[in-house]
Amino acid sequence: MFNKTDGTIVVTDQNNADLENTPVIPHDASVRRIVEEREDKDLARALKQRHIQMIALAGAIGTGLFLSLGGALQTGGPLGALLAYMLVGLVVCSVQFALGEVSALFPVTGSFVRHAEFLVDPALGFAVGWNVVYGSYLSVPSEISAALVLIQYWTDKYAALWITLFILVSFCVSIVFVGVYGEVEFFFAMLKILLVVGIVIMGLVIDLGGVPGQPRIGFAYWKNPGPFVEYITTGSWGKFLGFWAVMNNAVYSFAGVESVSVAAAETQNPRQNIPKACKRVFARVTLFYILAVLIVGMLVPSDDSDLGNPDTEGTAGQSPFVIAATRAGIRAIPSIVNAVVLTSAFSASNQAMLAGTRILYGLALKKQAPKIFLRTTKYGIPYVCVILQTAVATLAYMSLSSGALTVFYWFLDLTAAGVLVTWGVIALNHIRLHQALARQGIAREELPWHHWWTPYSSWFALISCTLFLLTGGFTVFTHGNWDTATFISSYLDIPIVITAYLGWKLYKRTHILALSEIPIRDALDEIERTPEEKIPPTKGWRRINILWG
């Protein structure tokens, strides 16, 4: 084990019985032992394999996919939008595999926040931890604002009542036993799967002329008005800018997939289940996102006036799937899509509550947040964290005066920037892990979960996230398009993270860990001392559960 004495890391007796269940953590071992004991005492390991898998799916399919596709099609065109989502999808897959490899070695609550402390610098763990709390807390009013937009498709009455109802229901789901939360997310994730599969099949039927009286569309809209849209300027440069502008929408659509491992202390067999959940995101991203974006580009032209219809702005009526279904005479589709997307907003809000409360609890464990946030119910729920996040959710009431769609996009920009910081840190953690493996002479094959290509894909993810973050608000720098609110929302997260990192670094006098200090061997020994029950591999027709299990 590792203890911190006089700023150095000391290896203690590995055979000491008192240390058998102590987590493998650098720096102050006494603090870490207390943290682990507190987690074991306070939190309930009640999330099963199917729960953790569907939490990953709930993060991968949110309101962004349904609400943002119309705007993406208008801005980038069918091919531009497809390429943008494919690029971000590749980044997400790289991030998820990096997260899976590190989480298999360090299956701790707080996930990438504590990974940053183990692998890079304790100050980075503090900064990214508060960044996630900030992003998660903003995500809840964002999703509630999105839910209000969806309800306005049916009625614009009782807006305040609907907001209050969503806040109360989210609070109730978050304050009960975590196993109940898992069941709720499992149910809503299944609804999302059915919706996406259903609308993709419907889109193919409409596009191929399967609806009586409707012509075959094929790829006609890729020819006229064309595969790309000229954005801000004309020519090839304008088409590229349209493609790049779709990136922010795509990032928001994928936001949340990284939260699958934040509740490791509440997950059964986390060393196996969390990497499996991370891995399956690839199949889900490919099937549910890329295919959906492809079908959308085939169904509706990028210059369709209904995509920007102010009467349906921000509701399911603006969805390309709904527009195509309505024109094909399928009248029930708009309300069905709107209803299921409404549950998607609620589900995404629940997931943000889980991520925000568990990360804040983890920060309090490390004395990086007030100790009042350590208080839990008898069912293992950090109720003070839940109460605070519920209070922040009341920001959704801003939509009553500013317009729900406007508020949604304010929160969207703020959240997207935080997501990119998180993804970049996950990639950096993984890069540091492999650098430490090389420095310490440990073979990659000794890791409990690994792939030969991930050292390269993590560099791709880190560079991509940096580019996305720096260019997220590029439109304000073009002639005649300066907007102070857009600039602040696109770049506010950068100084927040830098200030938090430098502030904690100066206050605690932390340092970037030497590669030889990273406790990889100790972590591998810990895995051998505390083995998990082996989960049998899925065989035969049961493999189809990759969609939901």
| b/e burial code for range 81-117 (CB count within 10 A of at least 16 → b) | bbbbbbbbbbbbbbbbbbbbbbbbbbbbbbbbbbbbb
Tell me the mean pLDDT in the region 220-241.
94
d(CA 115, CA 446): 18
Out of 150-154, 155-159, 285-289, pick the least confident. Answer: 285-289
Residue pair 299/79 in contact (Cβ under 8 Å)? The answer is no
What does the pLDDT average to over 345-366? 85
Contact between 428 and 435 (Cβ < 8 Å):
no
Convert the pLDDT of each residue in 86-103 to its tens digit.
Answer: 999 899 989 999 999 998
What pLDDT score was predicted for residue 40?
Answer: 53
Whole-structure pTM value:
0.86
The 8-class DSSP code of residue 36 comes to H
Residue 24 contacts residue 106 (beta carbons within 8 Å): yes
Domain boundaries, the chain: 45-511
Instruction: Round to whole Å and give the CA distance between 224 and 39.
Output: 59
pLDDT at 14 over 60: no
What backbone phi and psi angles, to 5 degrees, belong to 103?
A: -65, -30
CATH 1.20.120.80 corresponds to the domain 45-511:
no
Q: Cα separation of 69 and 81, whole Å?
A: 8
User: Picking from 166-175, 319-328, 503-512, which range would have the lowest pLDDT averaged per residue?
Assistant: 319-328
> Which amino acid, residue 142?
S
pLDDT of residue 2: 39
Instruction: Tell me the average pLDDT across 336-360.
Output: 84
Mean pLDDT of the residues in the chain: 81
Higher pLDDT, 352 or 315: 352
What would the pLDDT profile of 57-79 be if each residue is shown by its tens digit?
766 676 667 767 888 999 999 99
pLDDT per position as a tens digit, 466-488:
999 999 889 999 888 898 878 88
